[in-house]
Amino acid sequence: MFLGTYLPKLDDKGRLVLPAKFREGFAEGAVMTKGQDRSVVIWPQAEFEAFADRVREASRSDARARAYSRVLFSGATDELPDRQGRITIPAPLRGYAGLDRDCVVVGNHATVELWEPGAWDEYLNAQEPGFADLAEEVVPGLF
């Protein structure tokens, strides 16, 4: 499980050093693709394969499912972290998320998200006020 928020910097080659706590989760490989809200999502290889299987089950006659699948898979790339725990974020994904040098790495349970710092702050400022109320709707019976 990936937890926490980290503030690493991309190097001149667009490489990200994964937080030490996350490296074991990506030892078998990582898949990066476009995420919602202009983030980059990094999946452990096995998690992405399981998610891809569910996406493939969607009706090919549904235009929304076709569009989602095309954007998800066309923007995806796989990578194996190097010995220092670095992965290269491809230029198209950096452009999609507005990543330059500074970034925010967010653990999100089974995935990791990369955000441009201003976009992350804006997202949190919009979402945090309703967080308690949202929990009651999203996870009924939790509280």
Q: What is the CATH number of the domain that holds 133?
A: 3.40.1550.20
- Tell me what pLDDT residue 143 has: 53
Number of domains making up the chain: 1
pLDDT in tens, 103-124: 999 999 999 999 999 999 999 9
| Residue 98 counted as domain residue | yes
Percentage of the chain with pLDDT > 70?
94
Q: For residue 92, is pLDDT > 80?
A: yes
| Residue 48 counted as domain residue | yes
**Domain span at residue 66?**
5-138
pLDDT in tens, 6-35: 999 999 999 999 999 999 999 999 999 999
The answer to pTM > 0.95 is no
| Residue 143 counted as domain residue | no
Q: Given its phi and psi angles, is residue 4 left (phi above 0), alpha (psi -120 to 50 degrees) or beta?
A: left
| Residue pair 39/103 in contact by the 8 Å Cβ criterion | no
Q: For residue 94, is pLDDT > 60?
A: yes
